[in-house]
Amino acid sequence: MDRDTKHNKAMAKQKAAVDDAISKADIEQGVSVLLTGDGKGKTSSAFGMVIRALGYGQRVGIVQFIKGAQPSGEETYVKNHLPDVTLYQMGTGFTWDTQDRAGDIAAAERTWEQARAMLEDVTYDLVVLDELTYMLAFDYLPEQDVIGALTSRPAGQSVVVTGRGGGQALREAMDTVSEVKEIKHAYRAGIMARQGVDY
Amino acid sequence: MDRDTKHNKAMAKQKAAVDDAISKADIEQGVSVLLTGDGKGKTSSAFGMVIRALGYGQRVGIVQFIKGAQPSGEETYVKNHLPDVTLYQMGTGFTWDTQDRAGDIAAAERTWEQARAMLEDVTYDLVVLDELTYMLAFDYLPEQDVIGALTSRPAGQSVVVTGRGGGQALREAMDTVSEVKEIKHAYRAGIMARQGVDY
């Protein structure tokens, strides 16, 4: 058996063991998930969970920090096909421009108010806070307020936070943390971002 | 500035630099993406890309290896709301049972035939091959045939492969590879898998 096959089989066995351990857990409550790291797949994963939740008829709210200035496939799909999903985007109010720090903080705070309202609303089964970590990175939102709102949400509500970084306190506060590592990315070979995959 | 803030800011800057590099790439073609590793978020990410693709009116095909014996939110959603998406599941034909290796191989081959047909069909813009890596892990499908079909697909077609492991040859053949590392998982704290997030 070559090295790859050996590694592959180990991975498959690990999957089976984890599936077994998961089936033995017995606390039933909403979960908090942080998808961080520099690799591709964080925002798309959050939107895959939206689809899962909708498959069970759950109510979903999405707040996108940073995004919204440029159209994306997920935004178009939600707007055209998912009228029951609440989608709020920070959009053009945000610049990353250190010359307009006050304007950016105001945009972050305005957006966070939407997120906080969802985290207090027991009718939401799943809340997605896409790219929230960058608001913590730039100290645009107070970390303790954000973590407090995440951890004091309704017991049955799940929440997904995406974005690079995020900090140790956020990692500790979340139930599940995945770090998406970039092993390689098509753009490094000159391949353009692709509609339907990258945005 | 504390360590977390410093790390967070570095991550945010890296994101800006990567976004810039991506905008400079100039080869326009479908991309191949491998989502591997032991962390949560691989299948959900593939389904997020399905939503993105549908946002642009693209045609999508999904083949789920292993899955299908138990219902999932993404399956329910696709079946109830996305009649134009082709979904094929290996389902109950597969057992992981080494006592029935021949039966499992037959199920894998039957499922792979569906996948290969999509990879040869220029009308599909996006093909998702969920948990395909385990078929390579157990030598149920010949690696060179699988990689050959992936790399000779239509130029405009994108493909997403998920699952732990996968092997070096597959990694080399794909344009974008993300490894989803488990930092922690809710089940280790006894929290049950959650509808709408985990399945």
CATH code, domain carrying B100? 3.40.50.300
Q: Is B194 among the domain residues?
A: no
- How far away is chain B from the Cα of A120, in angstroms, using its nearest Cα? 19
**CB-CB neighbors (< 8 A) of A151 in chain B:** none
Tell me whether residue A159 is in a domain. yes
Helical residues (DSSP H) of chain A, grouped into ranges:
3-24, 42-55, 73-81, 101-119, 133-137, 143-151, 168-173
Domain assignment present for A108: yes
pLDDT at B2 over 80: no
Quote the pLDDT of residue B89. Answer: 94
B25, B52, B76 ranked by CB distance to A187: nearest? B25
Domain count, chain A: 1
**Residue A6, in any domain of the structure:** no
- Inform me whether the pLDDT recorded for B93 exceeds 80: no
Q: In chain B, pLDDT over 90 holds for what percent of residues?
A: 76
Please give the pLDDT value at position B1. Answer: 64
Q: Is B138 on the interface with A (CB under 8 A)?
A: yes
pLDDT at A197: 95
Q: Which residues pair with A179 in a beta bridge?
A: A36, B181
Residue that wins the pLDDT comparison between B1 and B22? B22
Residue B53: inside a domain? yes
> If you average pLDDT over residues B94-108, what whole number do you get?
81
ipTM above 0.85, yes or no: yes
Residue B110 domain-assigned? Answer: yes
Q: Is residue B160 part of a domain?
A: yes
pLDDT > 70 in chain B, percent: 96
Instruction: Give the pLDDT confidence of B146-176 residue by residue, as tens digits.
Output: 999 999 999 999 999 999 999 999 999 999 9
* H-helix segments, chain B: 3-24, 42-55, 73-81, 101-119, 133-137, 143-151, 168-173
* Position B95 confidence tier, pLDDT thresholds 50, 70, 90: confident
Q: Is the pLDDT of residue B69 over 70?
A: no
Tens place of pLDDT per residue across chain A (199 aa): 677 777 778 878 888 887 788 878 899 999 999 999 999 999 999 999 999 999 999 999 999 998 766 789 999 999 999 999 999 999 876 777 767 888 889 999 999 999 999 999 999 999 999 999 999 998 999 999 999 999 999 999 999 999 999 999 999 999 999 999 999 999 999 999 999 999 9
Average of pLDDT values for B54-71?
Answer: 90
Please name the residues between 101 and 120 in chain A that touch chain B, using a CB distance below 8 Å: none
Domain that includes residue B143, residue range: 29-189
**Residue A103: half-sphere exposure toward Cβ, Cα within 13 Å:** 10
pTM of the predicted structure, to 2 decimals: 0.92
Residue A10 lies in a domain: no
